[in-house]
Structure 1
């Protein structure tokens, strides 16, 4: 069917207990050297019952804040339009394409399925009220619970990094009261799962590193457990390369032992994550076995793996090249050619070569072809007669012409002009490929182009769209593509899992890169660390849900990144000048610790500068997690040697400032009713575009 397409190392040192980050069984600290310990974190501290009780209280508080009034609002919020709809499609098994991997969507769908959701709600627009049969609160519960999980993970990670209790408390409470994390976790969105699995990967990697610190711990059950969990929570590839490099320089590590370390890391941090990633797509394909609105993104062989794979009716601006056994009432009185928006056997055409016998040939740019209507055996034809409706000099009639025994004439000849391929098929720009190639058809004798527009034929043409041959054709209205194609000498190869997986990765990549249209709430990466603009999620009756971070947390964490970057540059310059700062074990410890967190921040943030697609504030959230952890590490460096009471007082001041910011902007989290004065007092930056 042819379809129209529109558009140096000192001796070990002991730290005094008053420094606050060593316990009663304090271990030696390592200084900078070629030793593997340079890039390992010290052994983890044992957390006592008092700390566990503290952690339970913090976690319960996170539950309360993130689950408070979770059912409100009772209507679609922001990108619930997309991710709620995807859950519906999973349940209905209808194929769709999304630029995000399927794990989080599958988890949300599982919750909905367990609650008995039948997939009937369309999540069509923001503000659409949820009917009783949509378990939207339960679907929101999954991101909310994962958002809760980030809080204790932050605490435990900081303790595993040998930061003090106060430091871990400060870091976890910063995350607990971070408005942006809270808002994003209370809706059917994917960012909360992303931040959770990022935090889990960091915690597992640090726990593994603590086990790996002593060579005697290598390849124990706990060692394998943490390494495997790191891989399952997406690994730490860059850090692994650094660690293996220092293992290679450790003379205590024999070549055989190095190979064992290498293979273990390759298995758990490369093979296992890839296997897990692909397994999610295997589940994805297993569920989505029916045709859906994502079919058009995929190749014809891929579509043949879907049941009910017939294409849906076309979009309003286009249609199928169509003919039927009815003649024009005027002009040539030959068979009508129209544009028809629905599936029909009269949309089928056979493409042949005008001068050669029928054989398997690829149609290339510039080839001359004929199109024969399969049902009526008439050929697509044009001549110098005016069309019945658009009776102007630059328009020619297009008709179906021919009869038994007639081999056709020159007016049946059309030249193929390939405009572009879609990039997913290498040959789609040089020869016709179903779905992938967009082309024009130029009438050889008259030079006009097969054309259609929104003009409709009268009742005698069944009010279908007019098709003409236009010498001044606007290009968007003269572009076509082939939707389905068959040939007796061509055997369609049904793709297996790996072929489907690879094709979908390419589609996801190109689709993501193609999201370049402007959005009213998009923003660029340079603005994110300064919280220059948020996102309006939902508004009704002077109530707003507006994605805005906790200003104190964001600006302090951004300052922490800057402080570490400046300090690192100064330390390197001083080293060049002969200073021995890196022989100080305390400097060395915090340089490794802060460097680890700063690299995590940069790897999750800087790549966005290479993207031209739509970007939003929530894309910064994984980087924000690392920035907050870096803030806590700097707190430990600056205040860790103070007396416990003073350190706690400083931490309390910071926590109170964070809590003040949280409560000041909490109406934007929960969609509370507020006054005009409260709204205006919350608008600290003019680009925060919420209003009363």
Structure 2
């Protein structure tokens, strides 16, 4: 795995070299870009860790390179090379998005360039409207349809190869129909189709990406006035998710193992109690009920909802206009239903936030005092597993299995919701570890903080960029407005300098790429790490390569008495010696050090700033 990731690291350097070469046709500019990347400690460490991001980064770079190559074919529209580079751009855009949704940034980059090109064609009166339409349709096919088809095909391949996952973590984020599609679903072919008294079931929330109704061995804190166990939504499937429906007039718990047991279906409008039980043993129950009633204490996390505690019974109301009271049964997987408290009329549903540390970051479950709301789909629940050896089973998979397209569509919002949940938690030691690993976007360009990788008995590493590379990059980015002004003045005086204009347009394109791969992280409310800056870092390094080469070119134009031809080789030799030496000095930042040994911890000598917690 590490060799595969490192090969993508090699491709990153090669593609960065080619991008700068395609923009400038300058070997020295491309060389300086590659030199800065190769001698950066973060770029090395990035491709030595088992992450998806190095693969994503190469797809992003290759998408950028292909789009530049396509633009170079603008004078030969609809030729073979023109179609080839347009199609290759679309392929790598689809691959970028398929690896991570961060690939949307490069799609936006190429899309803005496509819009600019189409606008230029539309404003060119020498180009017919029919020709503009052809250009538009070609870009729609290659830059929209091809990436979408490729993106979806990766899911088809994923679902075909990884057909086992019914008990994987976070399976509760998906619907019961989705879970049935896995080949290792143990009870899909012999599950009772109807829920009966005494059956052990799991209740899956109809709210998107919320999970199973679950209890905990821990109780609510004393300040909430509820001396009962915490009720929450859990994406994991375990014994804390098991429940049993029982009639309110039952004096003792229903035991399907009893010889006197007679199955009675739970129907629309029935009044029941929900008792926690285990799914993994023949018969076991804690006797803990799911209750709710109005108190002077609000829900711990959602101020407008009733807290779940004390006692109560529930009405089972099917979400089916044709359901008959006492007749239409509650079906496994196939029925959506509401649980309405018998005494207060509130409806069970997920809350609007998660519990703090005492609730183990679980999604709260509350009782909506407004009662049944037919427009509120988050009040709906679904029976996933249904275990009862005394009731004849049926093949639910054949009846409810989803199509591949339906599964792909369901996975999209679940991924968005699950990614948005990568936030800092406040659970004991985990909180301090997350603060050690995570960082904020403003820290990345100035190297205020890196990522302290976990220390083992063998190895320790601090993931951070090299100041010798990052600070020149930052200085050049800050100086770009001044350089742009000088360039425009020189172009006014020498309008025939088309080569300089092409480089300037390439610089603006790379600057837009840097902004699109950096600025969105400021708006994200999820946990972020230093490696999220690496795509933007590569684009800033390309800008540095172009600017440093332009500076050397400007120096060559000065009236030197002697040695003008030696200026560029000498400058490249000095840069090479400086950056190779800086990398050899800081190589331990990229490759790590042994964590055991006598004397001072060897990583301490690389702590350039007090903010680096090495």
Answer yes or no: same fold by TM over 0.5: yes
Q: Does the aligned pair in 1 maintain the 2:447–2:465 contact within 8 Å?
A: yes
Superposed displacement of residue 188, structure 1: 1.7
State the shift of 1:659 in Å.
2.1
What aligned pairs does 1:334-353 form with structure 2 within 5 A after superposition?
A: 334-336=251-253, 350-353=266-269
Q: Which residue of 2 aligns with 1:224?
A: 83
1:606-625 alignment to 2 at 5 Å? 606-625=519-538
Q: Secondary structure at the match of 2:159?
A: helix
Q: Partner of 1:261 in structure 2?
A: 135
**Aligned-residue offset at 1:305:** 1.8
Q: Does 1:551 align with 2:467?
A: yes
1:303 paired residue number:
179
Supply the distance in 2 between the matched residues of 1:348 and 1:531 (Cα, whole angstroms): 66
Partner residue in 1 for 2:504? 591
Query: 2: distance between equivalents of 1:348 and 1:687?
Result: 66
Instruction: Label 1:152 to 1:372 Cα distance change in 2 as closer, same or farther (>3 A).
Output: closer
Q: Distance in 2 between matches of 1:263 and 1:446?
A: 56
Structure 2 residue 606 is matched with structure 1 residue 682: yes
3-state SS of the aligned residue for 1:484?
strand
1:412-431 aligned within 5 A: 413-414=313-314
Contact map agreement 1:349 1:372 (CA 8 A) in 2: no
Matches within 5 A, 1:433-512: 442-444=341-343, 482-484=382-384, 494-512=401-419
- Pick closer, same or farther for the CA change 1:678–1:337 going to 2, 3 Å: same
1:214 aligns to 2:116 (yes or no): no
Report the alpha carbon displacement of residue 351 of structure 1 after superposing the two structures with TM.
4.7
Match of 1:160 in 2: 22
Contact map agreement 2:423 2:527 (CA 8 A) in 1: yes
**The residue matched to 1:529 in structure 2 has which SS?**
coil
1:320 aligns with 2:242: yes
Q: Distance in 1 between matches of 2:117 and 2:309?
A: 72
257, 282, 292: which one pairs with 2:167? Answer: 292
Q: Name 1:199's counterpart in structure 2.
A: 61
User: Superposition RMSD on alpha carbons, in Å?
Assistant: 4.6
Query: Compared with structure 1, are the counterparts of its residues 586 and 562 closer, same or farther at alpha carbon in structure 2 (3 Å cutoff)?
Result: farther
What is the aligned partner in structure 1 of residue 4 from structure 2? 142
Structure 1, residues 204-253: CA drift from partner, whole Å, max 9, x if none? 2222222x2423xx222222222211111116211111111112223343
- Maintained 8 Å contact 2:507/2:543: yes
Separation in 2, partners of 1:302, 1:151: 41
Taking the TM superposition and a 5 Å limit, the aligned residue runs for 1:527-676 are 527-541=443-457, 543-568=459-484, 585=498, 588-641=501-554, 642=556, 643-673=564-594, 676=600
Contact 2:176–2:382 at 8 Å: present in 1 too? no
Ranges in structure 2 where 5+ consecutive residues have no aligned partner: 94-106, 188-200, 203-211, 217-239, 256-260, 292-307, 318-330, 349-363, 369-378, 387-393, 426-433, 557-563
Return the TM-score normalized by structure 2. 0.64
Cα pair distance change 1:319/1:220, threshold 3 Å: closer
Q: Cα distance 1:651–1:515, how it changes in 2: closer, same or farther (>3 A)?
A: same
User: In structure 1, the residue corresponding to 2:163 is in which secondary structure?
Assistant: coil
Q: Tell me the secondary structure at the aligned position of residue 646 of structure 1.
A: helix
Please list the CA deviations of residues 478-531 of structure 1 after superposition, one character each: whole Å capped at 9, or x if unmatched.
999654289x9x996543222211211110111111212252211111111112
Q: For 1:143 and 1:437, how far apart are their aligned partners in 2?
A: 45
Structure-1 separation of matches of 2:332 and 2:494: 64
Partner of 2:272: 370
2: distance between equivalents of 1:609 and 1:154?
25
Distance 1:174 1:370 in 2: 69
Conserved? CA contact 2:66–2:89, under 8 Å: yes
Counterpart contact for 1:382–1:443, Cα < 8 Å: no
- Distance in 1 (alpha carbons) for counterparts of 2:465 and 2:262: 57
Report matched runs for 1:72-111 at 5 Å. none
Q: Cα–Cα, structure 1 residues 437 and 551, in superposed 2: closer, same or farther, change >3 Å?
A: farther
Structure 1's unaligned 5+ residue stretches are 1-138, 326-331, 339-344, 355-368, 384-394, 399-410, 418-431, 450-474
In the TM superposition, residue 540 of structure 1 has moved relative to its aligned partner by 2.9
For residue 267 of structure 1, report the CA deviation from its aligned partner: 1.5
Match of 2:114 in 1: 240
Contact 2:269 2:316 (8 Å CA) reproduced: no
> Residue deviations 1:144-185, cap 9 Å, x none?
001011112122222211342111111111112221121121
Secondary structure of the residue that 1:601 maps to in structure 2?
helix
1:110 alignment counterpart: none
Q: State the distance in 2 between where 1:667 and 1:610 align.
A: 33
TM-score (norm 1): 0.57
Distance in 2 of aligned mates of 1:683 and 1:172: 25
1:283 counterpart = 2:160: no
After alignment, is 496-505 or 607-616 more displaced?
496-505
Q: Give secondary structure in 1 for the equivalent of 2:609.
A: coil
Cα separation, 1, equivalents of 2:263 and 2:472: 63
1:583–1:512 Cα change, 3 Å: farther
1:640, distance to aligned residue in structure 2 (A)? 2.4
| Alpha-carbon contact 1:301-1:492 (below 8 Å) kept | no
1:445–1:500 distance in 2 versus 1, CA, 3 Å: closer
Q: Deviations over 1:557-582 (max 9, x none)?
A: 1222221144447878x89xx97797
Deviates more, 1:585-594 or 1:662-671: 585-594
Residues 109-160 of structure 1, C-alpha deviations (whole Å, 9 max, x = no match): xxxxxxxxxxxxxxxxxxxxxxxxxxxxxx1111100101111212222221
Q: Secondary structure at 1:544's aligned position in 2?
A: coil
Secondary structure of 1:370 counterpart: strand
C-alpha distance in 1 between matches for 2:519 and 2:263: 50
Distance 2:17 2:121 in 1: 29
- Does the CA-based 8 Å contact 1:204-1:226 persist in structure 2? yes
